[in-house]
Amino acid sequence: MDDRYRVVYSTEQGQTAKAMDKPAGRKNRAKPGNQPTVIKKPGKQGVRIRRESKGRGGKSVCVIDGLSLDPGGLKLLLKKLKASLGCGGAVKGDELEIQGDHREKLLLLLEKEGHKAKLAGG
């Protein structure tokens, strides 16, 4: 019997208590929040700009991912981009969402900030 699964009901004879005593889930893996954050140089990051419209009622947004910035740095960069483009946006996790299709302008603005970005998708 595999030790990763807890036994709910078993007709097997033998030592099932061993598998039941172990907690279900991951085995002693390091949590992502506990690791020190290493911020790469802006020119060495794999920054991608893509356009998405799924789940937004047909409206498109530009998603920027691959930025190795802390949450405060992401908010500051988003504020600069929104002011330059005159549109709205949000920080979702470690991605920036900019309302509307501004991929070409975002590419120029990010390069001006020192981030080497590429367009992704079609």
* pLDDT tens string 39-66: 555 555 688 999 998 888 889 999 999 9
More confident residue, 122 or 110: 110
Task: Give pLDDT, residue 32.
Answer: 54
Asked whether residue 35 carries a pLDDT value surpassing 90, the answer given is no
Asked whether residue 33 carries a pLDDT value surpassing 60, the answer given is no
> How far apart are the C-alpha atoms of 95 and 105, rounded to whole Å?
17
- pLDDT digit string, tens, across residues 61-118: 999 999 888 889 899 999 999 999 999 999 998 899 999 999 999 999 999 988 888 9
What type of residue sits at position 44?
K
Q: CA distances (Å), 87 to each of 65, 84, 93, 99, 105, in order?
A: 18, 8, 20, 6, 12
User: Who's near 61: CB < 8 A, 6+ residues apart?
Assistant: 51, 52, 53, 97, 98, 99, 100
- Tokens (6 digits) for 59: 């409206």
- pLDDT digit string, tens, across residues 9-32: 667 666 655 555 555 555 555 555
Domains of the chain: 42-119 (3.30.780.10)
Q: pTM of the predicted model, to two decimals?
A: 0.61
Task: Give pLDDT, residue 24.
Answer: 57
Q: Over 39-72, what HEC string results?
A: CCCHHHCCEEEEEECCCCCCCCEEEEECCCCCHH
Contact (Cβ atoms closer than 8 angstroms) between residue 117 and residue 110: yes
Q: CA distances (Å), 106 to each of 1, 14, 39, 48, 94, in order?
A: 54, 63, 21, 10, 17
